[in-house]
Amino acid sequence: MGLDRRKFFKVSGLTALGLAGGSVSKVFSGEDSLGTVAPVRPEGPLTAQRWAMVIDLRKCHEQADCNDCVTACHTTHNVPKWENPKDEVKWIWKESFEHAFHDQEHPFQQESLKHLPALVLCNHCDNPPCVRVCPTGATWKREKDGIVMMDWHRCIGCRYCVVACPYGSRSFNWRDPRPKIQKIEPDFPTRSRGVVEKCTFCEERLARGMLPACVEACKYGAMHFGDLEDPHSNVRELLSERYTIRRKPGLGTNPEVYYIV
């Protein structure tokens, strides 16, 4: 072969330069592998600067047997139903008042409040600790409307967020959830084993112009959903008229689910 060491290094150096140059020029030319696909606004999505929810626990209390919101949410989002509580996956559920608001409870609380079932879900905190700890960016706070989102494609199942969330709003799929979903809803994906999931304020429904499934399912008007930044919105009016509390406000997470008690 007529290629000595010196020549070999010259040729390989030039080749490496050429390859690097090729990819750099591609970056600078703004070449897009997909070409022409342009984003289009869908017709009538529901938008807000800051989504928030107000839950009227008194109305919930009057209808103690009602589980419509939980059922609606869990069927819409293909949430599996496990018998073993260790495997449990939940997006919205009922908790006793003393558990949901343990820092606002005392032994001589009025009887009605004590046994009040409190509806709990992801609080979509303004300062979400789950987002801060996620190592892959699989969970993040959407800048445009404050929803704490989940990207199940990126979740590696480290469960750091589960530990960080002070509200227990996150569930981990210890097992393949598919066999435990009673009827799979084709419009929404299921999750796979090893992925964390939680409420997303129905961002997929908002994009189609629909209210969250739980709010829509509530026959008694106990759940209100609206824009916190709009002073005339339903939630702002409720917040200014009624006494409301939040879960664990002292932690500084700034939860965006408010409760009328």
Partner 1 sequence: MYDAGKVILGIVVFLALVTFPLWYNLAGEVSVAAPELEKAEGSQCVQDAEWMRGHHMDLLDDWRDEVVRDGERYFVGPDGQRMEKSLSNTCLSCHVNKDKFCDRCHNYMSVDPYCWDCHVIPKEVM
> What amino acid is encoded at 220 in this protein?
Y
Restricting to residues 66-85, name those near partner 1 by CB under 8 A: 78
Instruction: Pick the closer one to partner 1 by CB: 170 or 224.
Output: 170
> Do the strands 171-172 and 196-197 form a parallel or antiparallel pair, or are they unpaired?
antiparallel
Restricting to residues 97-136, name those near partner 1 by CB under 8 A: none
Q: How far is the CB of 173 from partner 1 (least distance, A)?
A: 10
Q: How far is the CB of 51 from partner 1 (least distance, A)?
A: 13
CB atoms within 10 A of CB 208: 13
Q: Which two tokens stand for residue 121?
A: 């879900």
Restricting to residues 143-172, name those near partner 1 by CB under 8 A: 144, 149, 151-153
| 3-class secondary structure, 201 | coil
118/60 Cα distance (integer angstroms): 8
Write each residue from 177 to 196 as x if it is in contact with partner 1 (CB under 8 A), else as -, in one continuous string: -------xxxxxxxxx----
Q: How far is the CB of 58 from partner 1 (least distance, A)?
A: 35
For residue 254, CA distances in Å to 64, 126, 188 come to: 28, 5, 29
Q: How far is the CB of 185 from partner 1 (least distance, A)?
A: 8
Question: Does residue 30 touch partner 1 according to CB under 8 A?
Answer: no
198/190 Cα distance (integer angstroms): 12
Binding site for partner 1 (CB under 8 A): 33-42, 78, 142, 144, 149, 151-153, 184-192, 203, 207
